[in-house]
Structures are given as C-alpha cells and as structure tokens.
Amino acid sequence: MNRRHFLGLGLSTIAAGTVTPVFAKPHTNAVPRTLTLHHLHTDERLSLTYRVGEHYHRSALRRLNLFLRDFRTGDVTAIDPRLFDLMYEVQQRVGGHDGVFEIISGYRSPKTNAMLRRTSSGVAKRSLHMSGQAVDIRLRGSSLRHVRDAAIDMSRGGVGYYPRADFVHLDTGRVRQWG
C-alpha cells in the first residue's frame, strides 16, 4: 500500500466519523460532581451532574440557575458555580445520608430581599442571595449541626446556622459564621 492510498483511506475514515483520535486520552481523575435538589417552595426536583473534573457543564449550570430562581418573582440570575462546589463538598464530608439538598432559598431579587427585610428579622440589606452567591439548605438525613460543622471546617465562605428555622445558610463570600 503506498502512502497516498494510506492517507486517502485515513481521510475517508475520518470523514465518515469512525475514528477516534489517538491523542484523545480519557481523564482518569475526572470525577463527576452530581447534585440532587428538592425545592421546598416549588416542589421541583432536580438531579444532575454539573461538573466533571475541572469542567463545568454549561447546560447544567443554566438548569441550576433556573431551579434556584427567585420563586416569588420568577427572576433568574447566574449562580456562582463555587456555591455548587461548596454544596457538593459538604455533602461528601457529611456522608451517611440520601444526598438530597432541600432548598429553602436560592436567588433573591432585590425586590424580594427588600420585602423579606420588612417582614423578617435577620435578612441582610446586601444579601449574597441577590448576587447568586448564597443558598439556604437542609441535607436530608443529616443533622443541621453536622452540615454546619462540615461547612465551617472547609473555610470557604459564610455559614449561618438557623436551627429554629431549620436550615443552614451557605455562601461564597468572605469566611465568617453566625448563629
């Protein structure tokens, strides 16, 4: 077989889409990160892989943005992907649960945040919920205290503990804790 015939055969195979490039190596350390969520106000449920290795899936991030929308107004914003990483890593540290995050609050529009400030105590004027950097959660099957302690140990943002209201606040702002 001469070189031209070999190259022609190779090009026709590539054109047919039946060859895998030799240089494509599987990512051996590309761990998929999956979250399972239940929004308590909308009763919506979502389970998806949002990241594999170092690569976020844009379509999954869009679905998560919509899922965590302001349920009062329907407004959607881009949620900080580090918040999903924080949730995933808390889930991994806590262990021994069914892995479902119950969402109390995700994104809040400025309008919603102002209304909550008028009707509730403890709502920050410049809440990180308004910038897509905060979520209020429970992790089904795990104690709030265990979730709070795991998040605090990670030192990756703010952690608020609200045992009377039955949730933990996580955010990607500066490291701090309260409650």
Among 126, 77, 129, CA closest to 103: 129
Name the more confident of 26 and 72. Answer: 72
Residues 141, 167, 132, 74: what is their CA dihedral angle, to the nearest 10 degrees? Answer: 90
**Judging by DSSP bridges, how do beta strands 158-162 and 45-52 pair with one another?**
unpaired
By percentage, how much of the chain surpasses pLDDT 70?
83
Q: How confident is the model at residue 121 (pLDDT cuts 50, 70, 90)?
A: confident
Q: How confident is the model at residue 83 (pLDDT cuts 50, 70, 90)?
A: very high
Among 111, 173, 110, 102, CA closest to 140: 102
Please report the pLDDT score of residue 96 as a whole number: 60
158-162, strands of its sheet edge to edge: 55-56, 45-52, 32-39, 100-105, 134-139, 167-171, 158-162, 176-178
Please report the pLDDT score of residue 30 as a whole number: 87
pLDDT tens digits for range 87-114: 999 999 998 667 899 999 999 999 999 9
| Rounded Cα distance, 74 and 111, in Å | 12
Range list of β-strands (E), the chain:
32-39, 45-52, 55-56, 100-105, 134-139, 158-162, 167-171, 176-178
Can you tell me the mean pLDDT for 27-52?
A: 92
Domains defined along the chain, listed by start:
30-178 (3.30.1380.10)
